[in-house]
Every structure is written in structure tokens, then in C-alpha cells.
């Protein structure tokens, strides 16, 4: 009788083991993404599609190195009735930036530069710069000398001082005329144009989003002696087998390219006709701050490399201590002017990522855990790395203007739950 009971226990264990291995949504108590959480994510994403405020959405989540969630809802192309799918190609806009930062930091790992090196050490284009102080009675720009040079650290945390607004008297006109993002030019030309105009503020005194990561890409070229698009391909994308993360989409893959939609009102979407052609031609300017397209699985490889401290599947991109450095807040408390960064919640900024430094203080903030690092894109895409729960998440949607419907907040709440006050 004892022998029969013992065999029965073994058989039950084997059956349970097989069931778990074949259904990744069925998790043990140790797992964060439970079946109930997966259902909650489904309900949340489907709700946004049914509301008519997005055309389609997809999400992929890994926990402890294993896929625990994938689903897609709605359309990648409403007019063509093409469903959003796992292999849909999307425009990731500023989610290009962390990839560029990773490429730059491979040179850091090689000892090619130090973070507090001045950029003019490598690029004379940024020597003898001035800082804007206003305009005189005749409308002429006034300026002052640099208190200190721009450093590479400034580039990686958006404190370099480059202008990026259309409301700065005199300086915005210079920026507009320079047309730094002319796709027919080069990163060198972009650097020359920025070096010829005054900085908006003294380096290290404010956080201002802008062309810093494009200058990072320029520095990759200058320091390595290799065109940026080739360097990032050879040293990051190819090593991670991110074969579908590209600036240019070949003809055979264009049927999988999602349309981008502009939300003009509640449940009203208008198909964008401007950005699509950006990826149908190989332009001379290969930006570091934007311009890549990707798929869910491709970008998840990048996120998995980050959570595994710089390595994936036996391939090392960065040293573990370099990943830790990138995921550490680099903004001193003295940097109080931070543009819209506080809208991301209780965050600082590391090396090309926002870094969560405190829990949410109210239910208006996005939920998440301290230590998480993340970034998003202008078309409302999002990814994050949660080292505490060993989670990486990628959310793809193609929506302008940037998430005005609370998609990111509700997606996070589906995973972490709603804010709970103490």
C-alpha cells in the first residue's frame, strides 16, 4: 500500500511538471506574472482597442529569463485589416536612444574614454562654445563663456545644454535655420551645426531632452573610426541577433510594417502619412536619438541583455558593472530644472534610461518598483527592466500624440496593481 501511494505521488508530480512546462501562464507562487495578472493585462489592452483610441497593441513580458506573457489586439493596419501580431514591425523613435547609449558604452568598456572627459577632447567641433544669456535691445543674442566644458556624462544624462525648443528668443530661430536633422547630411554635419550655436544653459545645470544622443552617435563614429550605423550593427544588434531592428526596411518586410495613427479626439484616429516613408530609403543621416524600427522579440533581446547584466546567450555586450552604472541615477539634487522628466514619476536619469528612485507618491503616477530603469518612444511604445522581480516588458503601439490616454499607466497597473497609500 505504501509503495502504491509513493508511486501515485510521483505520477502526480510528473503530470504537474509537464503541465507547467507547456503553459507559461501557469506560474508558481514564486512568479510575479500569474495567470490572473495575464488575464488582467489582456482585459486592459483589449479595452483600449475597443475604445477606438488605438488601432492595435501588443505586449511581451519575460520573468526570470522566460516568456510569461504575450498577446496582441487590434490592427497594425486598420485600412488593410492587418492584425497586430508578434512579428509586426513598428517605429520605436526614442527607444533607439538606449541602444545608442549601449553602443557608446562598449567603447567605455574598451577604455576609449571616461565619462567626465570633455567632448571637445574628441571633437573640435565643440571647442570654444558660448552659453546663451538672452537678446539685447536690438534682438541680438548675448552670451557668456562656459563655466566648464560639456562632458560625455552630460550627453548621456541630457544635461549638455543644447537648445531644443521653439520658444527661446533668438536662439530658437538659429536652431530652426540650422535644420540639424536634415536627413541628407551626416552626424558630422549635425555636430558642426550644434557647435556653431550657443548652448541654451551651462552644462550640468538643467535636464533638457534633445539632441544629446545624436551627439553620442557622432562620438561613436569619431572615437571608433567606424560609421555609427555599422558600429551599432556590429557591436550590439548583430551580436544579440536583433536582425529586425533597422533604420531601413527592405521591400520584402514592408507588409509587416505597422501604420501609425494620430488621435484627434475621443475614439478618432487618423492614419499618419508623413513618417512611413522615412524607413523606405537609406538616408545619409543615421541618428542616435531616433530612427530605428523593431519587433517585440527583437527589442526583448535587448531588454534581456540588460537584465542579465550585459550578456545574453553566451554573448557579452557590456560588463556587469557598466550596466549597473547605466542604471544608476546620474542627476544631482542641484539639477532642479528637469523639463517634463518629473511626469515619469519619482525618477532620476542614468545613462540613456530613466531610473526609478522612489515609489509612487499618489495614484496619478505610473506604478513600478524602485530600481527599475526604462524608456519610451514618441509613438507611445514603452519598455522597462525590473531587476527586483526579474521582469522585462515591451509594449508596442503606434499612436501620436504620445500616450494621452493613460495606456502606459494602466498597463503597469495590470502588472503591479494600483497604487496603495500607506
Q: pLDDT at position 274, please? A: 84
252 occurs within a structural domain? yes
410 & 295 share domain:
yes
268 & 251 share domain:
yes
pTM of the model: 0.92
252 & 144 share domain:
no
109 & 87 share domain:
no
H/E/C letters for each residue in the chain?
CHHHHHHHHHHHHHHHHHHHHHCCCCCCCCCCCCHHHHHHHHHHHHHHHHCCCCCEEEEEEEECCEEEEEEEEEEEECCCCEECCCCCEEECHHHHHHHHHHHHHHHHHCCCCCCCCEHHHCCHHHCCCEEEEEECCCCCEEEEECCCCCEHHHHHHCCCCCCCCCCCCCHHHHHHHHCCCCCCCCHHHHHHHHHHCCECCCCCCECCCCCHHHHHHHHHHHHHCCCHHHHHHHHHHCCCCCCCCECCCCHHHHHHECCCEEEEECCEEEECCCHHHHHCCCCCCCCCCCCCEECHHHHHHHHHHHHCCCEECCEECCCHHHHHHHCCCCCCCCCCECCCHHHHCCEEECCCCEEECCCCCCCCCCCCCCCCEEEECCCCCEEEEECCCCEEEEEEECEECCCCCCHHHHHHHHHHCCCCCC
Block mean pLDDT (10 aa), the chain, length 422:
39 36 37 94 98 98 98 97 98 98 98 98 97 95 98 98 96 98 97 98 98 98 98 98 98 97 97 89 96 98 98 98 98 97 97 97 95 98 98 98 98 93 70
Please check whether residue 276 is in contact with residue 60, taking contact to mean a CB–CB distance below 8 angstroms: no
Burial class (CB in 10 A: 0-12, 13-18, 19+), 82: middle
Please check whether residue 377 is in contact with residue 91, taking contact to mean a CB–CB distance below 8 angstroms: yes
Q: pLDDT at position 277, please? A: 83
135 occurs within a structural domain? yes
135 & 181 share domain:
yes
20 occurs within a structural domain? no
Please check whether residue 168 is in contact with residue 132, taking contact to mean a CB–CB distance below 8 angstroms: yes
Print the domain residue range for 201. 104-224
Cα–Cα distance, 332 to 406 (Å, whole number): 29
Domain count, the chain: 2
346 & 240 share domain:
yes
Tell me the β-bridge partners of 199: 131
Closest C-alpha among 418, 414, 417, 352 to residue 61: 414
Q: Last residue of some domain: 224, 246, 268?
A: 224
Torsions phi, psi for 70 (to 5 deg): -150, 140
Q: State the helix-helix crossing angle for 296-307 and 97-109, rounded to 10 degrees.
A: 40
Closest C-alpha among 105, 128, 146, 141 to residue 325: 105
Neighbours of 21 (CB within 10 A): 9
Cα–Cα distance, 97 to 100 (Å, whole number): 5
184 & 305 share domain:
no
Q: Last residue of some domain: 161, 191, 224?
A: 224
112 occurs within a structural domain? yes
214 & 138 share domain:
yes
Residue reference for cell 510594417: 257
Q: pLDDT at position 31, please? A: 84
What cell numbers appear for 156 in the block? 548621456
356 & 237 share domain:
yes
- Dihedral of alpha carbons 237, 242, 243, 246, sign: negative
In whole angstroms, how far apart are CA 309 and each of 129, 297, 351? Answer: 37, 19, 15
Cα–Cα distance, 348 to 356 (Å, whole number): 6
14 occurs within a structural domain? no
What cell numbers appear for 383 in the block? 519598455
124 & 196 share domain:
yes
Cα–Cα distance, 129 to 202 (Å, whole number): 10
11 occurs within a structural domain? no
262 & 381 share domain:
yes
Q: Is the peptide bond before 401 cis (omega within 30 degrees of 0)?
A: yes
Please check whether residue 262 is in contact with residue 401, taking contact to mean a CB–CB distance below 8 angstroms: yes
The CATH number that applies at residue 46 is: 3.40.710.10
13 occurs within a structural domain? no
284 occurs within a structural domain? yes
Cα–Cα distance, 304 to 307 (Å, whole number): 5
77 & 138 share domain:
no
Burial class (CB in 10 A: 0-12, 13-18, 19+), 115: middle
Q: Last residue of some domain: 181, 207, 224?
A: 224
Amino acid at each position: 500500500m505504501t509503495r502504491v501511494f509513493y508511486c501515485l505521488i510521483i505520477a502526480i508530480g510528473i503530470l504537474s511538471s509537464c503541465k507547467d512546462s507547456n503553459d507559461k501562464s501557469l506560474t508558481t507562487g514564486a512568479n510575479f506574472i500569474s495567470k490572473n495578472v495575464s488575464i488582467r493585462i489582456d482585459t486592459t489592452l483589449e479595452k483600449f482597442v475597443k475604445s477606438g483610441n488605438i488601432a492595435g497593441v501588443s505586449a511581451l513580458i519575460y520573468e526570470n529569463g522566460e516568456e510569461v506573457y504575450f498577446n496582441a489586439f487590434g490592427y497594425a493596419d486598420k485600412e488593410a485589416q492587418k492584425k497586430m501580431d508578434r512579428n509586426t514591425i513598428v517605429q520605436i523613435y526614442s527607444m533607439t536612444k538606449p541602444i545608442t547609449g549601449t553602443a557608446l558604452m562598449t567603447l567605455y568598456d574598451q577604455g576609449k574614454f571616461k565619462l567626465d572627459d570633455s567632448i571637445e577632447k574628441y571633437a573640435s567641433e565643440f571647442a570654444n562654445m558660448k552659453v546663451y544669456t538672452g537678446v539685447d535691445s536690438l534682438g541680438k543674442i548675448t552670451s557668456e563663456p562656459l563655466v566648464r566644458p560639456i562632458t560625455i556624462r552630460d550627453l548621456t544624462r541630457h544635461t549638455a545644454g543644447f537648445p531644443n525648443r521653439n520658444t527661446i528668443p533668438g536662439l530658437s530661430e538659429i536652431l530652426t535655420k540650422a535644420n540639424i536633422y536634415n536627413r541628407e547630411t551626416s552626424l558630422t554635419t549635425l555636430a558642426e551645426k550644434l557647435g556653431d550655436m550657443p548652448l541654451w544653459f551651462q552644462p550640468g545645470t538643467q535636464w533638457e531632452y534633445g539632441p544629446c544622443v545624436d551627439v553620442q552617435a557622432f562620438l561613436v563614429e569619431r572615437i571608433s573610426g567606424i560609421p555609427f550605423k555599422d558600429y551599432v550593427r556590429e557591436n550590439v544588434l548583430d551580436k544579440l541577433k536583433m536582425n529586425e531592428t533597422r533604420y531601413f526596411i527592405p521591400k520584402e518586410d514592408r507588409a509587416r510594417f505597422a501604420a501609425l495613427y494620430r488621435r484627434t479626439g475621443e475614439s478618432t484616429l487618423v492614419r499618419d502619412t508623413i513618417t512611413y516613408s522615412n524607413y523606405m530609403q537609406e538616408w545619409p543621416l543615421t541618428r542616435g536619438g531616433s530612427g530605428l524600427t523593431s519587433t517585440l522579440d527583437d527589442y526583448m533581446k535587448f531588454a534581456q541583455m540588460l537584465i542579465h547584466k550585459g550578456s545574453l546567450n553566451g554573448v557579452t555586450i557590456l560588463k556587469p558593472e557598466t550596466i549597473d552604472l547605466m542604471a544608476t541615477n546620474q542627476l544631482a539634487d542641484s539639477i532642479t530644472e528637469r523639463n517634463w522628466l518629473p511626469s515619469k514619476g519619482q525618477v532620476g536619469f542614468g545613462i540613456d534610461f530613466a531610473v526609478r528612485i522612489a515609489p509612487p507618491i499618489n495614484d496619478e503616477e505610473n506604478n513600478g518598483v524602485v530600481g527599475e530603469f526604462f524608456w519610451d518612444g514618441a509613438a507611445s511604445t514603452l519598455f522597462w527592466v525590473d531587476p527586483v522581480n526579474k521582469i522585462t516588458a515591451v509594449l508596442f503601439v503606434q499612436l501620436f500624440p504620445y500616450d494621452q490616454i493613460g495606456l502606459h499607466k494602466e498597463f503597469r497597473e495590470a502588472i503591479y496593481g494600483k497604487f496603495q497609500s500607506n
